[in-house]
């Protein structure tokens, strides 16, 4: 399981959208929005390589960074960790809380119905 910090998610999102990126491309991208320096980006890249979230290939002038994990894999891990930490792993408890607190719209409820209907038709759910 790979745990990404909020900052690392920003780097991963950019790499998922447009890989490869050099350290300077990443620094230039985040300089205005986050104020990250070259050294900050270097630290993130080193940590993310240690976690096996990204990898690099030696380019002609600079290292080229690529995501090592797929976005859907990272999202699933993050979601499962969140559910376990906050709702004792119970999706129903999370949905009930969201509905009780009116944190979902009518459109979102319709989307959930459609997702669940499709999952049931395709038998694409885990057995407990």
Quick check: 56 and 42 in contact, CB under 8 A?
Answer: no
Distance CA 67, CA 70 (A): 7
Question: Domain check: are 104 and 54 in the same one?
Answer: no
pLDDT at 45: 98
Residue 54: phi and psi, rounded to 5, are -135, 165
* CA nearest to 10, candidates 54, 52, 50, 63: 54
pTM over 0.85: no
Domain count, the chain: 2
Residue 82, domain member (yes or no): yes
Q: How far does CA 38 lie from the centroid of its chain? A: 23
Residue 96, domain member (yes or no): yes
Give residue 75's domain range.
71-121
Spans of the chain, pLDDT less than 70? 124-125, 127-128
pLDDT at 128: 64
pLDDT at 1: 84
CATH number at residue 32: 1.10.10.10
pLDDT at 59: 86
Residue 127, domain member (yes or no): no
pLDDT at 70: 97
pLDDT at 125: 67
């Amino acid at each position: 399981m790979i745990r990404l910090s909020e900052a690392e998610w920003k780097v991963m999102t950019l790499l998922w959208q447009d890989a490869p990126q050099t350290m300077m491309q990443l620094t230039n991208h985040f300089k205005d929005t986050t104020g990250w320096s070259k050294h900050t980006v270097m630290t993130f890249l080193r940590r993310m390589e240690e976690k096996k979230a990204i990898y690099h290939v030696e380019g002609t002038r600079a290292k080229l960074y690529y995501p090592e994990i797929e976005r859907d894999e990272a999202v699933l891990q993050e979601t499962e960790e969140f559910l376990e930490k906050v709702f004792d792993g119970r999706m129903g408890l999370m949905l009930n809380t969201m509905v009780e607190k009116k944190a979902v719209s009518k459109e979102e409820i319709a989307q959930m119905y459609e997702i669940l209907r499709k999952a049931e038709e395709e038998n694409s759910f885990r057995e407990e």
